[in-house]
Amino acid sequence: MACRILAVVLALVPFLVLGCAGPAAAPGSPPVAAVPATPSAATSGTEPAGPPSLAPVVPASTAASFGGSPATPSVGGSSPVATPDPYLSARLHMVDTQMRARDITDPSVLAAMEKVPRHEFVAPDTLGQAYYDFPLPIGFGQTISQPYIVALMTQLLALKAGDKVLEIGTGSGYQAAVLAELTDRVYTMEIIPQLAESARATLDRLGYQRVVSKQGDGYDGWPEEAPFDAIIVTAAPDHVPQPLLRQLADGGRMVIPVGPVGGYQSLWLITRHGGEFKNFDWGGVSFVPLTRAGQPAPSAEPPLRVP
Ligand code: SAH
């Protein structure tokens, strides 16, 4: 499953669905491995629980009908919604009740969440739940994140037009589309080839051709395109990957869930100031683990502790 928040710092934020509990944000530091330590995917861990049946993955070749609504013609930019949208009122309601009512205040983030057609990124059998307050399965044991978490992580990135942003964990492509509403320099990486392919097709179909995507292990980032003004990691490692820290520009922001496989993680906002990094813990979340190329997928064994 993707993410569901356990707690956030602001008192205004109500408990959320799906088992929220509440440690307050605390200063501190996430674990950072000096060398690539045994990654979470290799150490095992339980797959976060998800709905019992996984949605079938729609192959890229049929992605034009992904989402179950008529294909939206490409408009060649980041203004993809060109046909009447039967989900518009559901989406506006989502933004009001799940975002404005909580702590999403950045007008550009709210506008992006109101614009991106989330229903186009979910599997056909979950279409009716596209704007609900929880993550949804997208196949291969992965999920599209809870809408609020997408908004929160986007807000924490504090993007300005023209910022160069790297996402690790393309999944359905939804988060990348939200980012693309805020800046036209979005790079995204996905380790599962079929997801990388179907997300690419969805992004193209909806007019997000400017999002640059590739299939691969995002642990090592995208050195050829670094530095990035912002990095967002939507799968959880058990430590902060050093390559990603190195690829963060001076003044850059990284949002990343860090914690043991099979357990909850902390959502960290890391900001770079020259050679110094400041960390802020936004509270408990639950993401799918960051897996590593060439290493076994997480198993159901108990998680190993990171020293
Ligand atoms: N951002 C996505 C949801 C993320 S789910 C969306 O908007 O739909 C997490 C994704 O991270 C999964 O698709 C998973 O396959 C991917 N992932 C896990 N480990 C990865 C890695 N090392 N590099 C790139 N992607 C990874």
Give the CA-trace dihedral at 166, 170, 174, 175, to 10 degrees.
Answer: -30
Choosing from 40, 145, 172, 198, the catalytic residue is 145
In DSSP terms, 270 is beta-bridged to 254, 279
Instruction: For ligand 1, pick from 170, 174, 208, 214 the residue to mutate: most ligand atoms within 8 Å of CB.
Output: 170
Residue 220 CA to ligand 1 center (angstroms) comes to 14
Q: Is 61 a catalytic residue?
A: no
Please check the confidence at residue 75 and state whether its pLDDT lies above 80: no
Closest residue CA from atom 17 of ligand 1: 169
List domains and CATH numbers for the chain.
40-67+87-285 (3.40.50.150)
Cβ < 6 A, ligand 1 pocket:
2, 142-145, 168-169, 171-172, 174-175, 189-192, 195, 217-219, 234-235, 288, 290-292
Averaged pLDDT score across all residues of the chain? 78
> What pLDDT, in 10s, does the model give residues 270-279?
999 999 999 9
pLDDT at 80: 54
Instruction: For residue 243, name the pLDDT band (cuts at 50, 70, 90).
Output: very high
Residue 283 CA to ligand 1 center (angstroms) comes to 20
Residue 11 CA to ligand 1 center (angstroms) comes to 30
> What pLDDT, in 10s, does the model give residues 13-30?
322 322 222 233 344 788
Please check the confidence at residue 76 and state whether its pLDDT lies above 70: no
Mean pLDDT of 39-60: 26
N-terminal to C-terminal alpha carbon distance within the chain: 26
**Alpha helix ranges (H) inside the chain:** 40-43, 88-94, 107-115, 147-157, 174-180, 193-205, 242-246
Closest residue CA from atom 2 of ligand 1: 171
DSSP secondary structure string for all residues of 190-257: ESSHHHHHHHHHHHHHTT-TTSEEEES-GGG--GGG--EEEEEE-SB-SSB-HHHHHTEEEEEEEEEE
pLDDT at 294: 80
> What pLDDT, in 10s, does the model give residues 255-266?
999 999 888 999
